[in-house]
Structure 1
């Protein structure tokens, strides 16, 4: 929008605009970044036409991959619309934690593991954090949802979008932290504020060799204690449904499921 325009298509019924879809192209990657419809037209033949038109426009750019990660509140009709065009479907869960509930039980002082150091998040952590993030996601379903997670450069771009473009809210530096073990960076967590006193876990990652050792729990406990001190009301996050280990950790810490939504990805068959 800062460029005074964004590529996409609009759905008009007679003289009314009732829906639109917009996309971004980076090299050979196309991202259908948003799709919105007037509720009266969701799930109709007109809505499916909008999806088909947006996909058709993207494919005219000779792309090798198309992703559609937008959050949808009315998704039942989207699955057949995308899958009919050869897209794979992945499910994500939006979870939220009420920081006022049983605060004294959940926000116990963070326990330090041997030789673990917590450092306040700084911009200088970005290169190390990107490498940790890529290693943590390697082989996971998230790399099938987003090609950016497959490389260190892509992970750095994701983090830069969070920290500088603020597409996930405004960073909360006090609740974000980087973890070292004997000088080596092994994990981090980045928290943002998406609405007044509403926190969001924008990104968290731990090196595979250090997983299952309580570092993820340590990171979450640290952030929750800082958010409580800042009088935040909630903390939300989005997690892939197939990431059972992370999903279980969040549930054990009291996060409640709010919304399940699909994301889609397409690559040409070889």
Structure 2
């Protein structure tokens, strides 16, 4: 009996791992967002300097995440999915997500679009990409934190169907600004 249970558990774990691996693949690298074509790929360690440059451009010279934080996340292959978007070989946007099988939650860890490319649909595209991946994995939620003062990002998340679900007081390092917790509730999965 125990042997059969172990075999069943092994099969379920293997199937889940294979499913996640397939969901995290990028099949079509050239994507159209609005009238512009972009190259979409998984983020690599070599992308980190450009990701930091985008953060500096977005956050007035500051980098909420440092080089080591990005590299640590990118080395964690299991449960992490980071994408970058390029236009004419220039990295213009990135998004990261932590996928938690146990909680059935996809948590957006970081998203940024270079100011030169904002308001063109890239943030929406990347967020929808993460929502679609979480849906394929039959998760329950997609979650994130957003700065209390970041009204533009909040509008984007609300337009996608996220709800404000709480506040984390003094959440952000440095300026201790509050964060708003936001949650997107995925449709209840059906059995295959």
Q: State TM-score, norm by structure 2.
A: 0.64
What secondary structure does 1:263 align onto?
coil
1:260 positional shift: 0.6
- For residue 252 of structure 1, the aligned residue among 159, 173, 176 is 159
Q: Which has the larger radius of gyration?
A: 1
1:111 positional shift: 5.3
- For residue 150 of structure 2, the aligned residue among 233, 243, 250 is 243
Contact 2:107 2:144 in 1 (8 A): yes
1:162 positional shift: 3.7
Q: Name the structure 2 match of 1:209.
A: 116
1:211-239 Cα offsets, whole Å, 9 max, x none, are: 11111111111121122122222111000
Q: Name the structure 1 match of 2:54.
A: 132
State the alpha-carbon separation in 2 of the partners of residues 155 and 130 from structure 1.
7
Q: Name the structure 2 match of 1:58.
A: none
What secondary structure does 2:161 align onto?
coil
Q: CA RMSD in A?
A: 2.6
Greater relative contact order, per chain length (Cα 8 Å cut-off, separation 6+): 1
Q: Name the structure 2 match of 1:262.
A: 169
State the alpha-carbon separation in 1 of the partners of residues 46 and 136 from structure 2.
25
1:161 positional shift: 4.6
The structure-2 alpha-carbon separation of the partners of 1:208 and 1:155, relative to structure 1 and needing over 3 Å to count, comes to: farther
1:171 positional shift: 4.0
Structure 2: give runs of 5+ residues left out of the alignment. Answer: 1-30, 176-192
Count of matched residue positions in the alignment of Structure 1 and Structure 2: 141
- For residue 132 of structure 2, the aligned residue among 195, 206, 225 is 225
Structure 1: give runs of 5+ residues left out of the alignment. Answer: 1-109
Structure 1 residue 185 and structure 2 residue 96: aligned?
no
What secondary structure does 1:242 align onto?
coil
Counting only pairs closer than 5 Å after superposition, residues 14-25 of structure 1 correspond to structure 2 as none
